[in-house]
């Protein structure tokens, strides 16, 4: 018997088209937004600033600070109240979107997201991943209200760093492996869960078939259909998996491994999606699915996704292994949604087996 699900299927409005950002003034006018806080990244903002439309309303630009923390959200929410902002616009990647959504929830304001990357589904989903001041992931919060508007200009994403797109592919690939690990345990699949399963499988199929062509589009700076498909897979389809499946479509082993890796300071230089991609292989080791790992390895090698700790430029001591394994097994971690009983000893064993399997 499945638990009661809450469907959070999509933002209120979502649009992908060339020069999509140019329609921002009319969207603000329709929403009667006249005084906005614009939260943005650093490098990404410098790259996309020329594309940000001129707005004939009051606007206040702020660098987000580099992390999505409780403290940062409190700061920006207070700013919204003091400056009487009536809307928030996020321009950037996943952490910018997460902080802006978190702030909008606290300040009870509409939130509009203009992604500069296709590295996560953060622009699509009504949740934020919260970190502490030392970059350790502490939780994710789900909000009772969808993002008001997502405007995606594929031309802008085409010129984003290719390694971030690859990390997004690694992150999104996990949707299938994590959702299927949970959904496969159900005797009856409600329609919502069927939608989550369908979109999760679609994520895997599109990425395995079209990622190479999409990355070639980025190298050639020329949009093709594969590029559009992979962008929408990383943002829209990935968001739909958890949006419809709720806890049956969110995360399982791969993301718990990612979360656990954040306790290692040396892991912070690695992109989120790369650590998740590694987590997929650890999860498959736990599930004893060696043929699936073998089938994935050529794809990983082609895209330069990490297949082991060496690829992540990490050397773990025994105490590091123990710290990661214990964090991955924390009671609130979604690794416990898997069928297998999970212990720190099992995680350490499987991480070490993966090293041998992929370095021989």
Q: Which residues belong to the active site?
A: 171, 255, 258, 272
Q: Are 304 and 166 in contact (CB under 8 A)?
A: yes
Query: What gap in Å lies between CA 48 and CA 271, rounded to an integer?
Result: 21
Strand ranges inside 176-222, DSSP E: none
Q: DSSP state, 14? A: E
CA 340 centroid distance within chain: 25
For 293, half-sphere exposure in the C-beta direction (CA atoms, 13 angstrom radius) is 23
CA 264 centroid distance within chain: 20
**DSSP H/E element including 285:** helix 272-286
Output the six-digit token pair for 180. 């299927």
CA 229 centroid distance within chain: 17
Q: List the Cα angle 16/150/240 in 5-degree steps.
A: 85
Instruction: Indicate the SS3 state at residue 38.
Output: strand
Q: Are 87 and 110 in contact (CB under 8 A)?
A: yes
Task: Tell me the β-bridge partners of 315.
Answer: none
Q: DSSP state, 3? A: P
Q: List the Cα angle 38/44/46 in 5-degree steps.
A: 80
Query: What gap in Å lies between CA 111 and CA 65, rounded to an integer?
Result: 18
């Amino acid at each position: 018997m499945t638990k009661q699900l809450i469907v959070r299927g999509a933002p209120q409005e979502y649009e992908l088209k060339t020069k999509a950002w140019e329609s921002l003034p009319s969207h603000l006018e329709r929403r009667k937004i006249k005084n906005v806080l614009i939260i943005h990244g650093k490098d990404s903002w410098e790259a996309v600033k020329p594309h940000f439309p001129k707005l004939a309303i009051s606007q206040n630009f702020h660098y987000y600070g580099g992390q999505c923390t409780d403290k940062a959200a409190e700061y920006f929410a207070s700013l919204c109240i003091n400056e009487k902002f009536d809307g928030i616009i996020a321009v950037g990647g996943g952490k910018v979107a997460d902080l802006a959504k978190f702030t909008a929830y606290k300040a009870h304001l509409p939130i509009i997201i203009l992604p500069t990357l296709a590295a996560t589904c953060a622009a699509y989903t009504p949740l934020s991943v919260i970190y502490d001041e030392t970059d350790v992931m502490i939780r994710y919060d789900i909000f009772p209200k969808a993002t008001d508007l997502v405007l995606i200009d594929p031309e802008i994403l085409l010129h984003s760093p290719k390694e971030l797109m690859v990390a997004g592919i690694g992150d999104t690939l996990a949707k299938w492996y994590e959702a299927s690990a949970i959904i496969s345990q159900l005797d009856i699949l409600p329609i919502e869960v069927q939608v989550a399963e369908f979109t999760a499988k679609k994520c895997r199929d599109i990425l395995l078939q079209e990622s190479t062509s999409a990355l070639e589009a980025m190298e050639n700076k020329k949009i093709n259909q594969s590029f559009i498909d992979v962008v929408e897979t990383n943002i829209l389809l990935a968001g739909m998996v958890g949006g419809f499946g709720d806890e049956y479509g969110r995360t399982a082993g791969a993301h718990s491994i990612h979360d656990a890796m954040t306790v290692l300071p040396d892991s912070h230089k690695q992109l989120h999606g790369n650590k998740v991609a590694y987590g997929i292989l650890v999860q498959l080791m736990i599930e004893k699915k060696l043929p699936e790992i073998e089938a994935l390895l050529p794809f990983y090698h082609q895209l330069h996704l990490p297949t082991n700790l060496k690829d992540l430029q990490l050397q773990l001591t025994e105490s590091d292994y123990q710290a990661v394994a214990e964090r991955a097994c924390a009671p609130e971690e979604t690794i416990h949604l898997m069928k297998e009983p999970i212990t720190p000893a099992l995680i350490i064993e499987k991480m070490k087996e993966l090293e041998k399997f992929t370095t021989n």
